[in-house]
Amino acid sequence: MKTWDVIIYDTTLRDGTQGDQISFSAEDKLRIARRLDEMGFHYIEGGWPGSNPRDRRFFKMARDVNFANTRLTAFGSTKKPDVPPDECRDFQALLEAETPAVTIFGKSWDLHATDILGISLEDNLRSIEDSVRYLKSKGKEVIFDAEHFFDGFKYNSAYAMQTVEAARRGGADMIVLCDTNGGTLTRDAVAAIEKVMTVLPGDHLGIHAHNDCGLAAATTLAAVDCGITMVHGTVNGYGERCGNADLITVIGNLSLKMGKRCLPPESLAHLTNLSRYVSDIANIPPLSSRPFVGRSAFAHKGGVHVNAITKNPVAYEHIDPELVGNQRRVLVSDLSGKSNIAFKAKEFGINLDDHRGIERKIVREIKKMENEGYQFDAADGSLSVLIKKAIGEFKEPFTLELFHVIDEKAHETASRSQAMIKITVGDEHEITAAEGNGPVNALDNALRKALIKFYPQVEEMHLVDFKVRILEGSEGTAAKVRVLLESRDNDEAWTTIGVSTNIIEASWYALVDSIQYKLSKEKAPERGK
């Protein structure tokens, strides 16, 4: 019995790097390759050694790595018809990469041979056959990418078929049908694949689809249905123009919907981590709506939906999020119902059992605040404080009497900010002042300084991120600003929100919520009145 129904071939490190804004150093590539190997990916296309020194360096470093599951492949083109293979620079670079497998691409669209390469159709066929044969003679496993196969098939199917047969005569181990321009409808791809399968068995065929019509994953899965066994793609679908087939989506569907063995079952639960890991290295924010692994993939907002999933998650979830290492989220917003609040309270560890009917009151409060520009989806810290106050579990730890903020900027000197603050804690008044690199920083410093003798735990927390958004003012009213603050202590991070027409005041609200959240985590000494 063969172990795998489908072979996963990753080209994140080659085709992926051709995506807009994607750039990996050789070290980045090695980190990603190790990760893919750990997860059991069968092939990793490491790069194009003939085209750049970075990829040559990657292959050099990769020689010292013992990949447990993966075969590394180096990528390049077929040789020019009039150049003997021994003198073809690209070929020599492929061999010097010292990978067990090599992948070469050749033209399957007659237009590309005649109009782009400027060679005859016969020369193109000979070049494909000779290139494959030469690399086979060097002991390599050879994967042949039939570039533009589907466009070629559309305009001159007889010739496209001849290119595939030339690769086979040369001894290619795998022939991969490429939708290089990504413009082929899935149904047209299926018709072409069925034709190829009359001459070549599926276990020698692969699919490489681009996403220009949003169909790359669909075409890839349809190709597997036809009997093709190797699928090409990239993590997160990174790649030229609209990208490649997203292997995360493809693997999710193959494993969980189509019952195909393609990765070790235990790897599935790491798909979410893999997707975010590669986003991090690419320094591209993870797409929250990414199927299976996005932050929003199992996020529920509508009250009706939330009510239903608390009874049975199947009602609005196509799979259990944990199967792919993702998690269910319930968002709280002006669409919220009571169920969202109950769900969030449970998540925060707040018991609402003794407070019958309180959810309705909280929903009313949230709707009112959202009307003013608040948004609690992204501000769990503020929401938690709001719920705890509503049930009386947490009281205001201090009262603001007043604050002053002064900003100073003189010719050719850096700006400076100072804040003075007066607060009341219980019966005690406290006045402090502090400096900062900006008004919010100065205010934060002054407030902590004032609070520290009452609540020493504020010293454990610090601000990590500060986001400001201008909210459109409706006619006749001033525009508002929404400030989101991310804070952390040794255990966790939390986000709080403030809204006002004044940016300092909005920041102040978010700052106060942040400190209150920290204080509400532990039963702080009761000082509120």
User: Where does this chain bind Zn ion (CB under 5 A)?
Assistant: 15
List strand residue ranges (DSSP E) for 78-201, in order.
101-107, 141-147, 174-179
Q: Which is nearer to Zn ion, 59 or 149 (CB)?
A: 149
Q: 468, 341 in Cβ contact below 8 A?
A: no
Q: Which is nearer to Zn ion, 15 or 380 (CB)?
A: 15
Residue 149 C-beta: closest distance to Zn ion, Å: 11
CA distance readout (Å), 154 to 158, 177, 192, 217: 10, 13, 8, 20
Residue 334 C-beta: closest distance to Zn ion, Å: 43
Reduced to 3 states, what is the DSSP secondary structure of residue 463? strand
CA distance readout (Å), 168 to 59, 105, 111, 124: 27, 13, 22, 14
Residue entry with tokens 């071939």: 9
Residue 460 C-beta: closest distance to Zn ion, Å: 50
Q: 240, 18 in Cβ contact below 8 A?
A: yes
Q: Which is nearer to Zn ion, 186 or 382 (CB)?
A: 186
Q: Which is nearer to Zn ion, 37 or 145 (CB)?
A: 145
Q: CB count, 10 Å around CB of 265?
A: 10
Give the nearest residue (CB) to Zn ion.
15
For 68, the enclosing helix (H) or strand (E) is none
**Region label for 433, one of left (φ > 0), alpha (ψ between -120 and 50) or beta (otherwise):** beta
Residue 164 C-beta: closest distance to Zn ion, Å: 17
Residue 238 C-beta: closest distance to Zn ion, Å: 11
**96 CA to centre of own chain:** 34
Q: Which is nearer to Zn ion, 179 or 377 (CB)?
A: 179
Quote the crossing angle between the two packed helices 53-62 and 26-39, to the nearest 10°: 40
Q: Which is nearer to Zn ion, 15 or 359 (CB)?
A: 15
Residues whose CB is less than 8 angstroms from the CB of residue 403 and which lie 6 or more positions away in sequence, other chains included: 419, 420, 421, 422, 443, 446, 508
In the structure encoding, which two tokens stand for residue 423, read together? 């607060």
Q: Which is nearer to Zn ion, 15 or 486 (CB)?
A: 15
Q: 405, 504 in Cβ contact below 8 A?
A: yes
Q: Which is nearer to Zn ion, 15 or 28 (CB)?
A: 15
Residue 313 C-beta: closest distance to Zn ion, Å: 37
Residue 18 C-beta: closest distance to Zn ion, Å: 8
Residue 132 C-beta: closest distance to Zn ion, Å: 19
What's the CA gap between 33 and 12, in Å, rounded? 9
Q: Which is nearer to Zn ion, 213 or 391 (CB)?
A: 213
Longest CA–CA span in the chain (Å) reads 94
Q: Which is nearer to Zn ion, 15 or 110 (CB)?
A: 15
Q: 440, 485 in Cβ contact below 8 A?
A: no
Q: Which is nearer to Zn ion, 186 or 500 (CB)?
A: 186
Half-sphere exposure at residue 525, Cβ-oriented, CA atoms within 13 angstroms: 10
Residue 232 C-beta: closest distance to Zn ion, Å: 7
Residue 290 C-beta: closest distance to Zn ion, Å: 20
For 232, the enclosing helix (H) or strand (E) is strand 230-233
Q: 232, 176 in Cβ contact below 8 A?
A: yes
Q: 43, 176 in Cβ contact below 8 A?
A: no
Reduced to 3 states, what is the DSSP secondary structure of residue 127? helix
Q: Which is nearer to Zn ion, 242 or 463 (CB)?
A: 242
Residue 244 C-beta: closest distance to Zn ion, Å: 6
Half-sphere exposure at residue 206, Cβ-oriented, CA atoms within 13 angstroms: 26
Got the DSSP string for 401-445?
A: EEEEEEEE--TTS--EEEEEEEEEETTEEEEEEEEESSHHHHHHH
Residue 147 C-beta: closest distance to Zn ion, Å: 8
Closest to 79 in 3D by CA, of 47, 53, 102: 102
Residue 157 C-beta: closest distance to Zn ion, Å: 21
Q: Which is nearer to Zn ion, 28 or 145 (CB)?
A: 145
Residue entry with tokens 């699919």: 207
**454 CA to centre of own chain:** 42
